[in-house]
Amino acid sequence: MNSKSVEAAQASAMLSQLPAPVLENLMANSVQRSFSSGETIFLQGEPAYAIFLIVEGWVKLYRISTSGAEAVVAILKRNRSFGEAVALRDQPYPVSAEAISDCTLIQIDGKRIRRQIIENPELGLNLLAATQVHLHALIEQVEQLKARSGVQRLAEFLVDLAEGQPNHNRLPLPYNKTLIAGHLGIQPESLSRAFAKLRDHGVRIEGNHATIDDLELLRDLANQDKGQPWVR
Amino acid sequence: MNSKSVEAAQASAMLSQLPAPVLENLMANSVQRSFSSGETIFLQGEPAYAIFLIVEGWVKLYRISTSGAEAVVAILKRNRSFGEAVALRDQPYPVSAEAISDCTLIQIDGKRIRRQIIENPELGLNLLAATQVHLHALIEQVEQLKARSGVQRLAEFLVDLAEGQPNHNRLPLPYNKTLIAGHLGIQPESLSRAFAKLRDHGVRIEGNHATIDDLELLRDLANQDKGQPWVR
DNA sequence: CGGTGAATTGATCATCATCAAAGGGCGTGG
DNA sequence: CCACGCCCTTTGATGATGATCAATTCACCG
């Protein structure tokens, strides 16, 4: 287990703040795996045997509905874990996971974690914290989908991106636009048009880099009221 | 603590399968509270001090975005718990909760549960299970919002309703239509029109009762393919 | 009764999906 | 090295879906 893995563990909601011996035990018994871009990590409906922690790269969680349509449920980066809540129960994964860049993951056996929780309940609390992060992200996504337009969601996406970076010049888009569209719940064509609309608001796109003139302006756009009548 | 409370505890993902003494201890130290329809249980941003379990009635979880728009995140009924993941950490509630019918809840102190988890790690696993139910529900909601039309979501909603009930004649709608609209992420007017469209598919509405001629037909409608191009 | 809020319906507009076409980057095979 | 094909991206035209604004009806309640 290399230093990058330890770093990821310490930065994750799931494993941070664990007593060192517990963490070491877990890490010693977990597997590090590499996936190349496009590879499937697990499929919706498969028995959930493991919890994953992203050491490097990007992962997409998605769902294929009965009709065959794909919905991107989450896009995760370094230091995020997934599958926590499911792998502890005898249940199938509710989503599929796919590497969207070359990436390395730590794979921890669910049964082992289960045993560890019994011995060290703090770990259970940590896992609850980690799932809470997921929960929160999904709640925000539902809010965005219900109360904001596609352009606004894109603006929000760019603001989030920029906040991770110091300079807003030539901000690299983390993955291709088809995927961004899926993440935002719109079609690629609509994304293209949404970018065009943002050009009037100081956003320029060149290839897979974005330049943001005025971050405040963009933030305002994302939060503009649509005047909901159901607010009493 | 009356029998209804015990019943709810045993039917909940959160407290079922707990050793009797642990359950009794928890219950003995929790409060039963009543709310009348429309009353606020807690507000988004408040410190999360408690976990709630619904003994009777209906509760709405919603979020007010920075723009002031309301998005209904979940609607919960008997035996469901909420606030589990949050109340165990020193964080504010990410949503607001409101009683949408007269209802009785069991309120369990977060700090107490935290102590109990340390003593009895099984409880931690149970809570993980409970949050997993929430997680799953949200994932489904995201999928529905991204990949289905309003009419389809309404069809799905009715199918879910009907599956709880044995006869599909005069199926009572559990709450008013404005709220159903919010739950489905559409405006009340659009809901009205969606109901009108379903009339052609064997669904009739009288007041707050629905009659479904052919449940299978409705299910098909909800799952009809929209022919997604992003499925490779 | 008068008033208030829920529900419906009509008319219109904004948003977004869909279908079609075309340009550009990139890797593969000749 | 170049040609070809493939996929991503953009743009245009059109249609479906749902929001908004306005008006009306109805049930309920003080």
Tell me what the mean pLDDT of segment B7-25 comes to. 87
- The Cα–Cα gap between A26 and A30 comes to 6
pLDDT per residue as tens, chain A (232 positions): 578 888 898 899 888 888 888 888 888 889 999 999 889 999 999 999 999 999 999 999 999 887 778 899 999 999 999 998 888 888 999 999 999 999 999 999 999 999 999 988 988 988 888 899 999 999 999 999 999 999 999 999 999 988 877 776 788 898 999 999 999 999 999 999 999 999 989 999 988 899 999 889 999 899 876 443 333 3
Angle at A130 between CA B8 and CA A27, to 5 degrees: 125
A47 vs B226: which has the higher pLDDT: A47
H/E stretch holding A201 reads: none
Using an 8 Å CB-CB cutoff, list chain A residues near B178.
230
pLDDT at B164: 77
Joined together, the tokens standing for residue B225 give 């393919």
Q: Which nucleotides of C are covered by protein (CB under 7 A)?
A: 6-11, 15-20
Phi/psi class of residue B63: alpha, beta or left (left: φ > 0; alpha: ψ in -120 to 50)?
Answer: beta
Query: What digits encode the pLDDT tens for the residues B77-110?
Result: 999 999 988 888 889 999 999 999 999 999 999 9
Using an 8 Å CB-CB cutoff, list chain B residues near A135.
85, 94, 131, 134-135, 138
pLDDT at B225: 60
Class of domain B148-223: mainly alpha
- The Cα–Cα gap between B110 and B93 comes to 12
Percentage of chain B exceeding pLDDT 70: 96
Angle at B199 between CA B198 and CA B202, to 5 degrees: 90
Task: From the CA of A207 to the C1' of C25: give the distance in Å.
Answer: 10
pLDDT at B14: 86
- The Cα–Cα gap between A218 and A92 comes to 40
Sign of the CA dihedral A51, B138, B86, A4? Answer: positive
Q: Which residues contact residue B149 at a Cβ distance below 8 angstroms, ignoring those fewer than 6 apart?
A: B226
Q: What share of chain A is helix, strand, coil (3-state, %, to 5)?
A: 45, 25, 35
Select the CATH number that applies to the domain covering A3-145 from these four: 3.30.360.10, 2.60.120.10, 1.20.1050.10, 3.90.1150.10. Answer: 2.60.120.10
Tell me what the mean pLDDT of segment B56-60 comes to. 93
Select the residue from A125, A143, A232 to test the B interface by mutation, using most B Cβ atoms within 10 A.
Answer: A143
Amino acid at B158: L
Query: What digits encode the pLDDT tens for the residues B181-215?
Result: 999 999 999 999 999 999 989 999 988 899 999 89
Partners of A109 in beta bridges: A50
pLDDT at B89: 85
> Between the CA of residue B23 and those of B131, B148, B206, what are the distances in Å?
18, 41, 44
Answer whether A63's CB lies under 8 Å from A74's CB: no
For B228, which of A70, A85, A147 is closest by C-beta distance? A70
Listed by start position, the domains of chain B span 3-138, 148-223
Task: From the CA of A62 to the C1' of D14: give the distance in Å.
Answer: 31
Q: Which residues contact residue B21 at a Cβ distance below 8 angstroms, ignoring those fewer than 6 apart?
A: none
Fold of B3-138: Jelly Rolls (2.60.120)
Q: Which residues contact residue B79 at a Cβ distance below 8 angstroms, ignoring those fewer than 6 apart?
A: B8, B11, B12, B53, B54
Q: Are strands B209-212 and A70-76 parallel, antiparallel or unpaired?
A: unpaired
- The Cα–Cα gap between A55 and A41 comes to 14
pLDDT at B230: 33
pLDDT range class, residue B1, cuts 50, 70, 90? low
For chain A, counts of helices (H) and of strands (E):
9, 11
Number of Cα atoms under 13 Å in the Cβ half of residue B30: 32
Q: Which nucleotides of D are covered by protein (CB under 7 A)?
A: 8-13, 17-22
